[in-house]
Chains A and B, each alone.
Chain A
Amino acid sequence: MDLGFYALQLLTGLAYASTLFLLSVGLSLIFGAMGIVNFAHGSFYMLGAYFLYAFTRGQADGFWGGLLLVLATGFVIGAFVERIFIRRVYARPEEYQILLTYALLLIIEDLVRFFFGTGYRAFPMPQAFAGPLFLLGTPFPSYYLFLIGLAAVSALLLGIFLYRTRLGAWIRAATQDREMLEALGVNVPLLYTVVFGVGIALAALGGAALLPMQAATPGMAVDAVINAFIVVVIGGLASVWGALLGAVLIGLVQALGVLFLPEWAMVFPFALMALTLLLRPWGLLGRPPAVRT
């Protein structure tokens, strides 16, 4: 095994981390701003993949338009779900908010089975990424670079949105003190709709972007939401950069795990999460609770 081989594993891990980031950053954002843990988050990730398939009829030449369409649809669906369902339970105890998103998880899974069947839905590699690239003499899928670039651009745009725009400042303020925002006259319900829409759009984009590498199945929603949980628990719930760090860590751990102990690979992310919970329970970049609870 030469250096190129290890570089390839590293790249594989980063590519995986990229989709993980898109998936979990919305979960983190929604929790931070609205205080709601969205158990259906993985379901929207799954919908992103199926929508790309449906919009392009599984044809690679519709990839770019399909991706944009998925992003837009994701936002609309997210906003719609917030308006129709989530909004009704803000005043309820948090367990009912969780139950509501859990019900959506069940419903969406069966809707997908109804419309797309239980089998795999695969998508061909878009023309632009057909040939492999070489790193230190080892071939690797050029699509990896696209995934990493997509996540990097998304993180950058999200950073600009949150730290350079007024809307972003309000969203950050919502993580600190919601009453104050209302006192300032900010339209908080609208803000919530936007946050939910953005979070869902990113998840859908992540699901769609992974489709050429990995076929979609109805079972992927639960696996995805659990991966997102692991990422945000490690990085720190409600922290956008925590989601980034958590995604990279899990991506690399997963890649190394597959390399050295393939049978146990799926246990490693859990082990890392357990370790975080023991040593730094609020996550690597999360804030410790002000008062011990």
Chain B
Amino acid sequence: MRLLWLFLALALLGPWFSEYGLKLASEAFILGLYAMAFNLLFRQTGLLSFGQAAFFGLGAYTMALLVARGGWPFPATLPLAFLISALGALFIGFLSIRLSRIYFTMLTLAFAQLLYAVAHKWYAFTGGDNGITDLRPPGIWGESLFYYYVVLFLFALGVLFLWALERSPFGYALRALRDNRARAEAVGINAFGHLLLAFVISGALSGLAGALQGALQRSVFPDYLFWTRSAECILATILGGSGVFLGPAIGATVFLLLRVVVQANTEYWPFFLGALLLLMVLFFPKGLGGLALEMASRRLKGERRGASGS
């Protein structure tokens, strides 16, 4: 299985990274997981969430609050971050999925910004814009190489889960709903239930990614919930190609490298984000992954034609 080889290669790569490289790679896995979670909705159901940061931030704050205020050990907070984000997605999804896809996009953005505003203003609980800092995970969890493996392991688990999901009856039912909703409902598929569950899964995985990111940065701020954070997973997905399974993860890597380069030179990173998104949407809607697949298939066809011609 090719995915397992990929994970193995990434695991072997670990010791060769510098400290900075380990951090960047860990962040790439985290953003990759976050974007793959976003794409579960976008690719399989056509639902475009502009509020994915709500769950990323919920997961991060759950972890941070439990560690800083509750004194929990970091690893024990991860299942809870997963769960709380899932509950948040259940609530927001219940209100947002009932109408059209456009409503869904509008409402996810609105609810995420509401959470941002709450985190920003509720000083007593979240620390407001001072955030929650000093989240150094204890012992070996705080070491970059070990953390790299933790993140890689959870990333691999998430990707394998999404991979299985795509092939399961549930995944096919989502595709059926996307292809032709009326037809799908007429064969007994419960549209609302399926879309809601997909949204909850997507939210839970985003929350896991948020918790991992918070521990990597050792701090959580309200900007974990901010709308530009939602833009990150969208851009990674569009960059890598939403139609390719690993596209969002590839996009996440390219995205982070770009950010390192751009942010070293200018503070106007969102402008680049926007301009890049604009270009991708207008000219390369299939993303880098889609482009690569297209070139590969063209070459394949060319070879075949060449073979039959000779």
Contact = CB atoms under 8 A, between A and B. Distances in A.
A103 B106 contact: no
B285 to A, nearest CB: 6
Given A107-B274, A233-B106, A100 B227 contact: no
Given A39-B50, A99-B238, A100-B281, A226 B271 contact: no
Max chain A CB contacts within 10 Å: which of B99, B101, B234? B99
B278 A107 contact: yes
Interface string B211-247: 0000000000000000110010010001000000000
B239 to A, nearest CB: 12
A282 interface: yes
Nearest to B92: A274
A287 interface: no
A104 B274 CA distance: 6
Contacts of B282: 85, 88-89, 100
Contacts of A107: 270-271, 274-275, 278
Contacts of A230: 110
A282 B117 contact: no
Interface in A191-238: 222-223, 225-226, 229-230, 233, 237
A223 to B, nearest CB: 7
A50 to B, nearest CB: 16
Nearest to A292: B185
A71 interface: no
Contacts of A281: 98-99, 103
Interface string B60-103: 00000000000000000000000000000000000110111111
Interface residues of B, number: 41
A98 B109 CA distance: 12
B114 A96 contact: no
Nearest to A118: B267
A43 to B, nearest CB: 10
Interface string A103-121: 1111111110110000000
B113 A102 contact: no
B107 interface: yes
A199 to B, nearest CB: 16
Max chain A CB contacts within 10 Å: which of B121, B227, B234? B227
Given A39-B50, A103-B278, A226-B113, A110 B101 contact: no
B102 A37 contact: yes
Contacts of B106: 37, 229, 233
B277 interface: yes
Nearest to B283: A88
Contact of A93 (B46, B109, B271): B46
B254 interface: no
B42 interface: yes
A262 B110 CA distance: 20
A103 B107 CA distance: 18
B109 to A, nearest CB: 7
Interface string A56-93: 00000000000000000000000000000100110011
A179 interface: no
Contacts of B95: 274, 277-278
Contact of B99 (A99, A105, A282): A282
A154 B271 CA distance: 33
A33 interface: no
A277 B273 CA distance: 32
Interface in A228-250: 229-230, 233, 237
Contacts of B227: 222
B111 interface: yes
Contacts of A127: none
A210 B308 CA distance: 70
Nearest to B110: A226
Interface stretch (A11-19, A157-165, A265-273): A265-273
Nearest to A97: B281
A99 B111 contact: no
Contacts of B238: 99
B102 A104 contact: no
Contacts of A222: 113, 227
A2 interface: no
B51 to A, nearest CB: 10
Nearest to A113: B268
Contacts of A177: none
Interface in B266-295: 268, 270-271, 273-275, 277-278, 281-282, 285
Interface in B87-140: 95-96, 98-103, 105-107, 109-111, 113-114, 117-118, 121
Contact of A103 (B109, B114, B182, B277): B277
B50 A85 contact: no
A273 B98 contact: no
A223 B274 contact: no
A111 B274 CA distance: 11
A226 B109 contact: yes
A102 B102 CA distance: 13
Given A95-B48, A266-B121, 8 more contacts: A94-B102, A105-B274, A222-B227, A263-B121, A266-B114, A277-B98, A277-B99, A282-B99
23 contacts: A95-B42, A98-B48, A98-B105, A100-B278, A102-B231, A102-B234, A103-B278, A106-B228, A106-B277, A107-B271, A107-B275, A109-B270, A226-B109, A229-B107, A237-B102, A266-B117, A267-B118, A277-B95, A277-B98, A281-B98, A281-B103, A291-B182, A293-B100
